[in-house]
Structure formats: structure tokens, C-alpha cells
Structure 1
């Protein structure tokens, strides 16, 4: 080993993000307690230095979110090209994935509405930062409608011109088009469509590369965003942040230890104790890496060797699930959006929360299975519902731990889906023999 590099250990990105979080938080709290947020030079720094620096980071995320979501959704659905070969297994996987993601988001939204971890902040201070957010990055994406009529809502899901919808940053119509586009690729198999799918996969890879470059700026952006938030909100920030972590982890625990065991026992025909004992290696790897993609090889091995699932079913469900079944991420996105809405005093109607739920479910399909892959989607949803996107800095400092928790939920959910689908296929095969 080169002696010049032996003693030089690079700090991982999540470590740098934590450092940025602590630096910004400490500096902001000192300013709030010692100097006061109304001091002219503090106002100048937040308006001309730390504020714009955080907004640049958010704008970079916004710039990439549409092509990233489009390509990820198309690729995620197109990878179900085995639907023709697997038939019922593919359709069942898709239906159960949507169902389990919807349950996860509903649990998260219910927890936030019941415990309201974002309440208690001075409304005047919240409104001040809310106004700043509306003048900044939140203006990039139009807000969700205040009153959502069922007929109009579903009508607006179908774009009359997808390019116009994309230009106006109407996310849901674009996501619906991406889903239909992916289905079209599944149903149309030819050399030309295979090349087209490869092109879209290339677009996804380019977007992921750019996202990874942007995320490297996160430590600086977090420090700036946290300085602004802490200088304005003071100790209220820490109390709200602790409440947020408690609600998020509680919602994930309910999904992991209540919903999953029920699904495994009733739909998968397996003892929950045996299931969790068999997959504990995959859970440990997913928790430590915070990446569904990195956990995939271990998940495949435990599915085939420990759970005894058919290889064809396990590989299909788990490979697609690494991208398309991110129900832990969907839960986290819903909790985060509602928490920040409460923090900034933005009351979301039931219609708006329904929109948030739909975007979280679809966003779970289009979220990359890598650490911090949900950040672009969360920033986009925040701006959709009129919450200052810079509020995302509030949760980035604790995001690594929550990312590890939700990735474990994602990977466990993939194995739950594989177990349920495998049982259904075995019963179908036995009925055919009889």
C-alpha cells in the first residue's frame, strides 16, 4: 500500500453530509441565540450567500428530476418484459407492489396526521421562510390545486400533450405517460424497440451520474440550508427534528413488523419467524449499505437457498423490485412532505394529501435504489404542494440513518413480494397437474 495514502482515509459522503449538517446547525443556533436573526448582516448573509447556495443545489435537483423519473419509470416497467413469459407472476408482482406501497404511504401519512411532529413552530417565523421559499426554488414547479375534484383530478392525469405537461412541470401526467410508455415497450418487441429501451436505459444512467455529481455538493448545501433554518428557528428546530425521526421510524416499524408478517403469513403461506430468520443476512447488508441495488446479490441468494423460492420467480421479482418496489422510500417521502408542511404551517387538504400519496407511490417505482436516491423526488413534491424546498435541509442531516432504515424496508418488501408470488405460482402449477 502506498504510504502516502495509507494514513489518508477519505471521509464518506454521508459523513461529510453529517459534518455539514452539524456546522450549519451550530453556526445558525449561535447566531439565533447570541446575535439574533434580525441583525442586518445576518439578513444579508442569509439572503445573498447561504440562501442562494442552497437554492442552487435545489435547482440542480429540479433540473434533473423529470428526465430521471421518466427514464427510471420506463426502464422499471420495461424490465417487466418477462411479463409475457411469466404471465400471472408478472402481473401479480406489479399489483402487489402497488398495493404494499399504498399501504406503506397510508401508514406514514396517518402517523404524521395523528402525531403532527411539525407543529409548534412560531407561525410568524414559519411564514417568513415560507415566503422566501415561494420566491425561490418553489417557483420552478407549480403548486398542486387547492381543491381537487375526483373527476377533474383523474382527467388531468392523462396529458393531452406530454411535452406541454413537461414544460409546465406537471409531474403526474408525465409519470402516467412514462408508465404507459413502459407498457408499450413490454407489448412491442422488435429490434427497434430493444434499441429504444437501451437508449432510455442510457438516459437513466446519465441522469444517475449527474445526480451523483450533484449529491456531492450536498454537504455544502446542507450547511447553508441548516444555517438559514437554525438562525431563524433556533432550538425549535432540534425538537421538531427529533419528533420527525421518531414518527418516521415508528411508521417504518409498523410496516416492517405488522404489515409484512401479515402478508407473509396470509398470502405467502410461511411463518413470519422463519421468513425473518431466513432473510436476516439481506437485512443486515441493506441496512449497512443503504442501497437496494448493492443488496441484490445477497437477496437473490437468501431467496433461493434460505427461503427455497423458485429461481425464475426470485430473480424476476427481486431484480425488478430493486428499482420498482421502493415502498419504504415511498413511506419516507410521504412522512417527510407532510412533516415539512406542518413545520412551515402549510395546511394540506385531503385532496392534496391524495396527490402526495399518488406521487409517492409512483415515485417509489422511479426512485433509484442508491443512497439518497429519494432526494430529487422529495424536493419535487415539496414544491408541488407549496412547501419551501429548502426545508429539505432540515432532514438531510439525519437522512443517512433513515435511509438505512427505509432501504431495509425496501429489500424486505422485495422478498415479501417474491414469497407471495412464488406461493401463488406453486398453487397454480399444482392445480394444473390435478
Structure 2
């Protein structure tokens, strides 16, 4: 799921920001390297600012949109958290009907907006347990999945950083603040 969001970031930059995917890759590699090594979008912010400016985004947009995106926009949150809840349901043999899935989607959207921007190992259970509860899925397996959360969290951060840069280039183009 995180890989789909990561690739979608490139598609958004290409379609919405009119940025060549290879140019976007070159500009985003330093921020992605920081994201992988720190698992922190906030730590990646200076490299993201440098990257979007290299893509022609003006300071007016870069200095406002990108920090807000880092603070509030977690593109991977709802979809990856919902995917974990669906995985747990499958693991525990819980059948999910349309109502349970709709409840999970709603809970995932709401909990992501209220989640603090901390590494996944800290916020994993508090972010996913409400989704599981809304869907009628047991929360106990989350304690076991926490042991491997570092790997999905790397993908979460990588995808979030990429999508934050893509959103910034798209907004810059829409606002006419792109060279």
C-alpha cells in the first residue's frame, strides 16, 4: 500500500505539477534518503524544501505549503492503517462485510487527522486500534505486529515525504508560483 502511495506521488508531480518524473526523482532523492534513515518527515523537511525549490517552486509556496503538508498531510496514514486492520481481520479469520469496511474507512480518515506525527513504533497501536474496534476486529495481534513496524514505517515516511513534495509542486503550479 505504501508503494502505491509512493508511486502516486510521482504521478501527481507529473500530472498536477507538470514535473518530469526523472527530474522529480532527482530532486526528491536527498529527502527520501533522510526519510529512510530517520523515519521522520519533519527531519526530511530541509531536504524537501531544497528539492522543491530545485524543481522551480517559489519560496512563497514552498515555505508555507510544505511545512503544513508535513504537519498535517499523512498520505499513507488512512490507507496503510486500514490495510493493517484488514490484515489482522484476515489473520484472525474475521469476515469483513461492506459495513465493517465502511466503518474502517471512516475511522481511518478520522484517526489520521488526530494522530501526532511520531514514529510508527510509538503511535502504531493508538492509530490502528480504533480502526480495528470500528470494524469489529481484535486488537491483540497489534502487539505482535509492533515488533516489525519499523519496516512499514520506513515505507510510510518515504511515501509521505514524496507525496508532500508532489502536493507542493502541484499547488505551486496551480497558484502560478512555479518557474
TM-score by length of 2: 0.89
Greater relative contact order (Cα < 8 A, sep 6+): 2
Q: 2:9·2:159 contact (CA, 8 Å) conserved in 1?
A: no
1:217-236 matches, within 5 Å, as: none
Partner of 2:130: 380
Q: Distance in 1 between matches of 2:94 and 2:159?
A: 29
CA distance 1:365–1:323, shift in 2 (3 Å) = farther
Partner of 1:393: 143
Structure 1 position 410 matched with structure 2 position 160: yes
Q: 1:314·1:418 contact (CA, 8 Å) conserved in 2?
A: yes
Partner of 1:276: 25
Q: Distance in 2 between matches of 1:362 and 1:314?
A: 27
Q: 2:100·2:135 contact (CA, 8 Å) conserved in 1?
A: yes
Partner of 1:98: none
Partner of 1:309: 57
Q: 1:334·1:356 contact (CA, 8 Å) conserved in 2?
A: yes
Structure 1 position 364 matched with structure 2 position 97: no
Structure 1 position 253 matched with structure 2 position 3: yes
1:14-29 matches, within 5 Å, as: none
Q: Distance in 2 between matches of 1:351 and 1:384?
A: 10
Cα offsets for 1:139-173 (capped at 9, x unmatched): xxxxxxxxxxxxxxxxxxxxxxxxxxxxxxxxxxx
Q: Distance in 2 between matches of 1:365 and 1:317?
A: 17
Note the residue ranges of structure 1 that are not aligned, 5 or more in a row.
1-250, 430-434
Q: Indicate the RMSD between aligned Cα atoms, in angstroms.
A: 1.8
Structure 1 position 343 matched with structure 2 position 114: no
Q: 1:323·1:365 contact (CA, 8 Å) conserved in 2?
A: no
CA distance 1:374–1:293, shift in 2 (3 Å) = farther
Moved segments of 4+, more than 3 Å: none
1:154-173 matches, within 5 Å, as: none
Partner of 1:324: 72
Q: Distance in 2 between matches of 1:365 and 1:374?
A: 14
Partner of 1:423: 173
Q: Distance in 2 between matches of 1:287 and 1:253?
A: 14
* Aligned-pair CA distance for 1:407: 0.6
Q: Distance in 2 between matches of 1:422 and 1:402?
A: 30
TM-score by length of 1: 0.39
Partner of 2:11: 262
CA distance 1:280–1:410, shift in 2 (3 Å) = same
Q: 1:379·1:389 contact (CA, 8 Å) conserved in 2?
A: yes
Note the residue ranges of structure 2 that are not aligned, 5 or more in a row.
none
User: Size of the alignment, in residue pairs?
Assistant: 176
Partner of 1:68: none
Q: Distance in 1 between matches of 2:124 and 2:172?
A: 29
